[in-house]
Amino acid sequence: MATTKKRIGIVGARGHTGAELIRLVAAHPALELAYVSSRELDGQRVDAHVSDYKGDLHYSSPAHEDLPGLDADVVVLALPNGKASVCVEAFDAAGKYPVIVDLSADYRFDNDWYYSLPELTRNKWRGEKRISNPGCYATAIQLSVAPLKDVLAAPPVCFGVSGYSGAGTTPSDKNNPEKLRDNLMPYSLTGHMHEKEASRHLGVPVEFMPHVAPHFRGLTVTTNLYLSRALKREDVLARFQYAYEGEKLVRVVDEAPWVSQIANKHHAEVGGFAMSADGKRVVIVATLDNLLKGAATQAMQNINRAIGVDEYTAIPV
Ligand SMILES: NC(=O)C1=CN([C@@H]2O[C@H](COP(=O)(O)OP(=O)(O)OC[C@H]3O[C@@H](n4cnc5c(N)ncnc54)[C@H](OP(=O)(O)O)[C@@H]3O)[C@@H](O)[C@H]2O)C=CC1
Ligand SMILES: CC(=O)N[C@@H](CCC(=O)OP(=O)(O)O)C(=O)O
């Protein structure tokens, strides 16, 4: 029996994460692109920019109040922070309620939205159609801390380094290859959005110090955790293996993973588990591709569940 594909619109499709989503949708058996929006690429063929897409679609540039009329079943907002609400309000005003997945930070603190990091929140999903996708560093931090939440003696301290695609396409020091050459650029060393986000969703405070590096994609977070009682390395490892057992997109590895090996991969890796001699301190390293498990792949997991297909559909695992 032929099945009808769900139609998906991507708002902000010129960006790094939007382009990754177009790739994922192009390989999806149950989704087809309804529209992809970009002001800059308006009118241009999508296949001229995303070679994995085979079809005749062109970028368009609808006003936000025209989005509801485009009748997509799923809408992904891949806009810079602060730009999502006008789009969401347009759907409300039109009385249209597609699945909306927001990639920005705009709804990660909003109780009316479902914050979805599937490996940690899957059992809380009650069919919500407004889904806030986690931040890239915040994903790595939460995966590193969650299995040890009940034995923390102090806020975990997380040292993060991201490739510069994490800073989007709007020109800034953080995505300027000249300024990044031979450099490691610290920024937002206290109070970064992902410090607040991870603290809120873990339910314990974390401290986070981000940096951006000259490579394009992939991030690494090294987390120092003080423990309230001494643990053996095998106990720590067992907690992580139990927490992520059967997860196709979170791999627990023995050695500390390298960021160079995670670019273009859809999963996250968590490893290292270096213990202090007294067993009351452990250092954990997590890596993921900020554009994939840190954004588009995680969004696709969330979309898949929302449209009722297997969570890993179209995700190479
Ligand atoms: N990059 C990453 O690693 C991650 C990003 N995110 C989040 O995902 C979202 C998208 O990120 P990313 O793809 O990197 O961003 P980009 O800067 O690469 O792309 C932003 C997109 O939004 C459009 N846009 C830019 N400014 C405006 C504006 N004022 N009004 C409407 N549209 C605009 C751009 O297209 P055009 O100007 O042509 O209209 C472009 O398609 C952001 O909220 C980001 O924080 C989340 C996790 C990881
Ligand atoms: C290198 C770099 O600049 N990274 C971005 C994080 C990208 C991300 O996850 O974005 P949002 O939380 O904004 O959605 C930052 O630190 O703001």
Residue 3 pLDDT > 80: no
**Beta strand pairing status for 219-226 and 157-162?**
antiparallel
As a whole-number percent, the residues of the chain with pLDDT over 70 amount to 99
User: pLDDT tens across 40-81, in order?
Assistant: 999 999 999 999 999 999 999 999 999 999 999 999 999 999
State which of 194, 289, 298 you would mutate to test the pocket of ligand 2, scoring each by most atoms of that ligand within 8 A of its C-beta: 194
**Ligand 2 centroid distance, CA of 162 (Å):** 9
CB of 119 closer than 8 Å to CB of 112 = no
CB atoms < 10 A from the CB of 162, how many? 26
Question: Which residues of the chain does CATH 3.40.50.720 include?
Answer: 6-134+295-307
Closest-lying ligand 1 atom to the alpha carbon of residue 217 = 3
CB atoms < 10 A from the CB of 242, how many? 10
Q: Which residues of 174-208 are buried (b: 16+ CB within 10 A; e: fewer)?
A: bbeeeebeeeebeeeeeebbbbbbbbebbebebbb
Residue 2 pLDDT > 60: no
Count the residues in the chain.
Answer: 317
Residue 1 pLDDT > 50: no
| Residue nearest (by alpha carbon) to ligand 1 atom 45 | 104
User: pLDDT tens across 141-173, in order?
Assistant: 999 999 999 999 999 999 999 999 999 999 999
Strand, coil or helix: what is 21? helix
**Ligand 1 centroid distance, CA of 280 (Å):** 41
Q: What is the ipTM of this complex?
A: 0.97
CATH of 136-290 among 2.60.40.2300, 3.20.20.140, 3.30.360.10, 1.20.1440.130? 3.30.360.10
CATH class of 6-134+295-307: alpha beta
Token pair listed for 65: 């109040």
Residue 135 pLDDT > 50: yes
Question: Which residues of the chain does CATH 3.30.360.10 include?
Answer: 136-290
What is the Cα–Cα distance from 297 to 290, expressed in whole angstroms?
Answer: 10
Catalytic-residue membership of 136: yes
**Ligand 2 centroid distance, CA of 210 (Å):** 10
